[in-house]
Amino acid sequence: MDISSYFEPIDISKIGYKRSYFAPRLGDLIESYNKEGGRFPVIDARSVVLIGLTDGRGAAMNLNCANAADMVRRFLYPLAGIENGVKVIDFGNMVQGNTIEDSRQALVEVAAELLRQNCIIVTIGGGQDYTWALYRAYAQVGKVLNISAIDSRFDIDEDRALDSHNWLRHIIMDQPNYLFNFTNIGYQSYFVGQQYVELMDDLKFDAYRLGWVRENIGRSEPLLRNADCVSIDIGAVRQSDAPANSYPSPHGFYGEELCQLTRFAGLSDKTSSLGLFEFSPMHDNSGQTAHMISHALWYFIDAVGQRKNDNPYRDTENYRKVIVPLDEHGVEVVFYKSKKSDRWWVEVPCSINTKDSSKQHMLVPCLYDDYEQALQNKIPDLWWKYYQRVNS
């Protein structure tokens, strides 16, 4: 499939980047589709592919998204070079369609092709409604997925045309449905209301308050390790660090916390798409938000090069299997600890009739805290939540 027709080349002179002759900058290592080079990059498996989204018509309030990707490139390209074997390709900016629906469908086609070729997709700009397009790309290749959203709100507003405030509702209502689990990281209670928190629970989705996440940012690692698609609303970052948003809040994540979260996503062997949405350059202060986004993206790319290819079922020698009997509950909870990364998984039985025993269990990323909970003869909350989900 020729996808080059969907893109416009980057004008390097407009983003103000000049090649470094002392030490390689990230821009020196990125293979970009630009006006000087002319050729569209060749796709390799496991490449990180950057895609600029210039159509913001689906952003409910952040309509000025056209220059978002180029503003981020202005700060991303001069950052320190990452020479860890990760190939980074910049496709440039997607051509706007006649309608926002056309623009979304173009991303569906491009992202589906990249998923088929085992690439890692990074979108920059546009409204968070493009998460729906990424979801449809997974559906097009027949993959059931988990989505984690770093967002101060649940975008599940009333039933109307798709936009950045109700994209999750449209995904939930899609048939046939390819969403297995949705996780919100960092919602703020005064923005969502208790009825929506209860709705998330009724849907068996996961939602974690900003205060709970910030109390120990490491708790988010397994939540992102389990995500195929990570969707970030820049409005989840506090106004002091990210002013370029039409509805900024004085509360939210700090910029360095967003960098930690994108690093967790980059380390995940499962994550194959990352979206950085709702950046409105017209509200930026001296490029502060663009600068912050470029740092978060740098940490994601750097972490991709450090992936461990962790899979307890495929590589049993590098894992320690621990069985914890819960006598009071009449069950055994099985944990795996990676010798390569010290990360933990818990095994959840599934009600599937198959001769393949590995298909009768699901491996869910977890923390050492879950193992400690089992040692106290308590069913880990994570285990119970997934057990209900896969056996209902």
Note down pLDDT in tens along the chain; length 392 residues. 789 999 999 998 888 888 777 788 999 999 999 988 778 999 888 899 999 999 988 887 656 777 899 999 999 999 999 988 899 999 999 999 999 999 999 999 999 999 999 999 999 999 999 999 999 999 999 999 999 999 999 999 888 899 999 999 999 999 999 999 999 999 999 999 899 999 999 998 999 999 999 999 999 999 999 999 999 999 999 999 999 987 889 999 999 999 999 999 999 999 999 999 999 998 898 899 999 999 999 999 999 999 998 888 778 789 999 999 998 888 999 999 999 999 999 999 987 543 444 457 899 999 999 999 999 999 999 999 899 888 87
Tokens 């740098």 -> residue = 298
- Report how far apart the first and last C-alpha atoms of the chain are (Å, whole number): 40
- In eight-state DSSP terms, residue 128 is T
Please state the domain extents for the chain.
4-304, 316-390
Q: What is the DSSP string of 302-341?
A: HHHTT-----TTT-GGGEEEEEEEETTTTEEEEEEEETTT
Provide the CATH number for the domain formed by 4-304 in this structure: 3.40.800.10
| C-beta separation of 292 from 237 below 8 A | yes
Query: How many CB atoms are closer than 10 A to CB 287?
Result: 15
| C-beta separation of 300 from 262 below 8 A | yes
| C-beta separation of 360 from 354 below 8 A | yes
Distance CA 379, CA 370 (A): 9
| C-beta separation of 374 from 324 below 8 A | yes
Please give the pLDDT value at position 294: 98
Q: Which has the closest alpha carbon to 337: 309, 370, 312, 364?
A: 312
Please name the residues in contact with 207: beta carbons below 8 A apart, sequence gap of 6 or more.
154, 183, 184, 187, 197, 200, 201
| C-beta separation of 59 from 163 below 8 A | yes
Please give the pLDDT value at position 352: 56
Please give the pLDDT value at position 62: 57
Distance CA 183, CA 195 (A): 17
Please give the pLDDT value at position 388: 87
In our burial notation (b when 16+ CB lie closer than 10 A, e otherwise), range 58-67 reads: bbbbbebbbb
Tell me the pairing of strands 331-338 and 319-326: antiparallel
In our burial notation (b when 16+ CB lie closer than 10 A, e otherwise), range 219-245 reads: ebbbbbbbbbbbbbbbbbbbbebbbbb
